[in-house]
Amino acid sequence: MNKVGLFGGSFDPIHLGHLRIAEEVRGHLGLETVFFVPTAVQPLKRGAATIPADERLRMIRMSIRGNPYFRASDMEIKRGGISYSIDTVRAYARRFDDLYFLVGVDAFSEIDLWKDWTELFRYTNFAVMVRPNHRTADLMKILPKGVQPEVKRIDSSTYEHVWGKRLHLFEITQLDISSTNIRSLVRQGRSIRYLVPDSVERFIKEKGLYKG
């Protein structure tokens, strides 16, 4: 198993939009596995997760059960503290030859705020996801100026860093679902059916999550 994707986030909770993103990128790139990597503490949103990490991890595991291409990773949770992408990427690069880091275009546009961000291009390829009709059609326009000379455009959606890692721009199916909205619906006592997997909906109800 060599060609794998890393999909990080708080997943608070995981929802059908997350799963669809992973499925589309996996299909486009022919990934053998996509690892869902829930953060312990996000560096740019410290304390943002509203429920314990182990419960977020459990919801991921129940969401992907039966899918041979998806796996849950507890690496950042076990590590504890602030979750830095570079630490996770380095760890996975020691295990797999061909990594792809899944990231939305908005987060990618702030990559220069990440810890040791230039080193990411040494260890992983990127799958940068945009919504249909998004204004960003050229990654060069949002790459930090310091790295722009190191990246060349291969075709309309593919770029290559001088270290050999590639950046792929993907238009994904737009599902207007967000974890923030799901938490709000739960607080209001409204239905979240068809926004999350059935198993996650039951788990949230049974545990009384997101009520406060």
In a domain, 7, yes or no: yes
How many Å is the Cα radius of gyration of the chain?
17
If one compares 47 and 29, the residue with the highest pLDDT of the two is: 29
pLDDT value, residue 58 = 98
pTM confidence score: 0.94
Judged against a pLDDT cut of 80, whether residue 153 lies above it is answered with yes
| Average pLDDT estimate for 171-177 | 89
| Average pLDDT estimate for 42-65 | 86
CATH of the domain at 50: 3.40.50.620
Average pLDDT taken over every residue of the chain: 93
| Average pLDDT estimate for 31-37 | 98
If one compares 137 and 123, the residue with the highest pLDDT of the two is: 123
Considering the chain, what percentage of its residues have pLDDT values greater than 90? Answer: 77
Number of domains in the chain: 1
pLDDT value, residue 72 = 99
pLDDT value, residue 124 = 98
**Distance separating alpha carbons of residues 103 and 114, to the nearest angstrom:** 13
In a domain, 29, yes or no: yes
pLDDT value, residue 135 = 61
In a domain, 96, yes or no: yes
Considering the chain, what percentage of its residues have pLDDT values greater than 70? Answer: 95
In a domain, 203, yes or no: no
In a domain, 191, yes or no: no
Mind giving me the DSSP string for 80-143? -SB--HHHHHHHHHTT-SEEEEEEEHHHHTTGGGSTTHHHHHHH-EEEEEE-TT-S---GGGTS
> Which residue range is the domain that position 62 belongs to?
3-176
| Average pLDDT estimate for 183-209 | 98
In a domain, 212, yes or no: no
